[in-house]
């Protein structure tokens, strides 16, 4: 929104209060009449009221945004905790899945040694060697 002269409402450079024409009139000693001053004050009061209303809405939005950011941080923290638990459960499940395979490998290993031992015993028995 451009800056406007407080006396006549003309657009003025940023940071200035009055336009060059009103400034010239003031320097010349021409007073601004009370009606114009009152109108300008009413305009400014109305604009200030509008800005206060808008600022209140911005503050409410900021509170909601802060609440949302806090909620997101809590969710992120809980997600990290869940991820750690899932990793722990995954390692336990992997260990449980490997257990039957290890048992089977042990059984096969023992059976293989049993067959080899029986074959050797049979060879010795045929050769007449007492075991």
Question: Are 3 and 13 contacting, i.e. CB atoms less than 8 angstroms apart?
Answer: yes
Q: How do residues 34-90 score in pLDDT, each as one tens digit?
A: 766 777 778 788 888 888 999 999 999 999 999 999 999 999 999 999 999 999 999
Is 5 a member of any domain?
A: no
Q: Name residue 4's beta-bridge partners.
A: 11
Is 116 a member of any domain?
A: yes
Q: How do residues 8-18 score in pLDDT, each as one tens digit?
A: 778 888 877 77
What pLDDT is attached to residue 62?
Answer: 96
Task: State the residue range of the domain holding 78.
Answer: 33-127
Q: How big is the CA angle at 17 (ends 13 and 20), to the nearest 5 degrees? A: 65
What pLDDT is attached to residue 44?
Answer: 81
What pLDDT is attached to residue 19?
Answer: 81
pTM of the full structure = 0.44
Is 84 a member of any domain?
A: yes
Q: Please state the domain count of the chain.
A: 1
């Amino acid at each position: 929104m451009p800056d406007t002269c407080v006396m006549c409402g003309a657009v003025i450079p940023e940071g200035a209060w009055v336009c060059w024409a009103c400034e010239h009139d003031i320097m010349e000693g021409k007073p601004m009449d009370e009606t114009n001053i009152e109108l300008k004050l009413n305009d400014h009061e109305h604009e200030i009221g509008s800005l206060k209303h808008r600022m209140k809405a911005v503050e409410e939005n900021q509170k909601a945004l802060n609440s949302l950011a806090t909620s997101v941080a809590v969710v992120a923290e809980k997600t990290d905790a869940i991820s750690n638990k899932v990793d722990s459960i995954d390692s336990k499940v992997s260990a449980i899945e490997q257990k039957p395979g290890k048992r089977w490998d042990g059984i096969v290993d023992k059976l293989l040694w049993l067959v080899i031992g029986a074959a050797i015993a049979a060879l010795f028995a045929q050769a007449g060697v007492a075991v």
